[in-house]
Amino acid sequence: MSDLVRIAPGALTIGRPLPWDVYDAEGNVLLCQGYVIQTDSQLEQLFERGLFKPRTIELPEADNEVSGDETECNPFTSYPGYLHALEKTLATIANGEPEARKHIQDLAHTLEQACKSAPDSSLALIHLYSVGPTIHEQIIFYAILCQLIARQFGLDEQRIPLLTEAALSANLALVPVADKLNAFNKVLSKEQRDVIRKHPERSIRALRAVGIENELLFTIIAQHHEQADGSGYPDGLSGADIRPEAEILALAERYVAMITKRAYRKRMNVTAARKLIANLADGSFRPALPKALLHILGEYPPGTLVRLENNEVCVITRRPLRTLGPFAQVVLDSSGASCDTRQERDTSIPGFNIMALEEPDIMPSMNFSRIWGFPD
3-state secondary structure of 7: coil
* Torsion angles phi and psi, residue 329, rounded to 5: -110, 140
- Of 266, 269, 219, 265, which Cα lies nearest the Cα of 246? 219
Which architecture, in CATH terms, is 70-297?
Answer: Orthogonal Bundle (1.10)
Residue 278 CA to residue 274 CA, distance in Å, equals 6
Q: Report DSSP state, residue 237.
A: -
Are the CB atoms for 20 and 48 separated by under 8 Å?
A: no
Q: What is the predicted pLDDT for the residue at 179? A: 66
Are the CB atoms for 194 and 205 separated by under 8 Å?
A: no
Distances (CA, A) of 119 to 113, 289, 328, 348, 375: 9, 18, 15, 21, 17
pTM, two decimals, is: 0.92
Residue 285 CA to residue 289 CA, distance in Å, equals 7
pLDDT in tens, the chain (376 residues): 457 788 776 778 888 899 888 888 788 888 889 999 888 888 888 888 777 766 555 554 444 444 344 446 899 999 989 999 999 999 999 899 999 999 999 999 999 999 999 999 999 999 999 988 889 999 999 999 999 999 999 999 999 999 999 999 999 988 887 767 666 666 667 677 777 778 899 999 999 999 999 999 999 999 999 988 888 888 889 889 999 999 999 999 999 999 987 766 788 999 999 999 999 888 789 999 999 999 999 999 999 999 999 999 999 999 999 899 999 999 999 999 999 899 999 999 999 999 999 988 789 999 999 999 998 6
